[in-house]
Chain A
């Protein structure tokens, strides 16, 4: 309850000079301002969250372009990617500032009030962030790393869901040099294995995402299979192998139902 509402509401007995309706009009002004304030804040946050989603999608495409670029261009691509990531990050800072207005705990409490409005952008950002992080380090970005990046409480479920999307982004990478598919394959397999062990009730949307991951994994496994066979035949010709991998992925994509992308 806002402070205003309390002040308005404390003198409970109806003043004799005021009708009940007039008295109600006064108390309802306080409710109205509380609702309006929350609505205003919600709108602002939704706008930011949408911006985050859009920019994150762009960053993911940017990373894809880099991953398939010649090695010389990759470093620059990663650096640009980092800049873009910082740009998205600025939106989170803005949201945090929005949440902190009128709060004495830095907006922590408000974060949970508007969590549902933030979660869409957050998930997409985590996907982009972990993708970029993977390309930079070949590692899975730890939850703590992301929380540090956001300096807030991006929840574990968002992390898990963002991570689940990441496996889909990694799939096209498997057309890279011939050791990449095998590494991606084992990475995605690990993620799937661990996610399978999570009780479905804990992360509501994980079920569907796991299906996506399974599809991605099957495609990558097909690529690896084709690659292994070709490796025997053309082990001394990396250019041929790369083309083979690309073709294998295209075939896998044709065979299965459409993945995300």
Chain B
């Protein structure tokens, strides 16, 4: 029969391992704090798009990209903490940050270049590049969710640009959202978060198109991007 000591010794090994795991999880989470700050700053900067006049848009977008680009050294620090082969174990800590950064980058790049930034470029722009970021990687899932969060912002921008008498932007936005919606329709989604977020695209598209309709009805917003 098991002597009490043997049970205790056996479980002690498991508990020690768990404690070490818990400590590392906490350390990784704490190490992400500087990036959380960066995501807040970038989001705040881009929020100014809703109120700033259109000639300021480019400067705001550039500023946001500059902020995002400062993330690199923190990624390097985080990468150092993660044991080899265990990136996905700590993905929970970085995944929300990836999504948020993709949102900001995609937003800025749309304003600047009227394009949807590809995942690879987004990863580069957030400083997720080079040997020293180790196994940190932007998954397609994170990227695709981040992009949808950006689209969620666009109906608001469309409406606000009309208020600011920028009648050209809503057309550009509607065409952009339309292209994105068509692209997402290519994906085989299963019943997960990405799927739920994809469903929200339809409503965003409708809202963006409604603004264009209102403008067209009144003979405004001539250009269709």
A interface residues (Cβ-Cβ under 8 A, vs B): 1-2, 5-6, 8-10, 12, 14, 20-21, 24-25, 27-32, 34-36, 38-39, 105, 108-113, 115, 134, 138-144, 155-157, 159-160, 163, 179, 183, 186-187, 190-191, 194-195, 197-199, 201-203
Interface pair B86/A156, CB less than 8 Å apart: no
Indicate which residue in B114, B117, B183, B188 contacts A35 across the interface (CB closer than 8 Å): B188
B69–chain A nearest beta-carbon distance, Å: 16
Residues on the B chain within 8 Å of A30, using CB = 140
Interface pair A21/B182, CB less than 8 Å apart: yes
Residues on the B chain within 8 Å of A187, using CB = 1-2, 7
Q: Does B75 contact A (CB under 8 A)?
A: no
- 11 new A-B contacts at CB < 8 Å, known A1-B120, A28-B187: A1-B123, A8-B118, A32-B186, A32-B187, A112-B89, A140-B2, A143-B17, A160-B15, A183-B1, A190-B7, A191-B7
- Between A and B, 13 residue pairs with Cβ closer than 8 Å are A1-B119, A20-B114, A21-B179, A24-B180, A27-B118, A29-B186, A31-B140, A35-B187, A113-B91, A140-B2, A183-B1, A186-B1, A198-B15
Q: Does B85 contact A (CB under 8 A)?
A: yes
Residue of B nearest to A141 (CB): B10
Given known A-B contacts A31-B144, A156-B21, A139 and B119 have beta carbons under 8 A apart:
no
Interface pair A142/B10, CB less than 8 Å apart: yes
Tell me the interface secondary structure of chain B in the complex.
Answer: helix
Indicate which residue in B11, B88, B144, B183 contacts A115 across the interface (CB closer than 8 Å): B88
Q: Does B13 contact A (CB under 8 A)?
A: yes
Could you tell me the distance between the alpha carbons of A36 and B141 in the complex, rounded to whole angstroms?
11
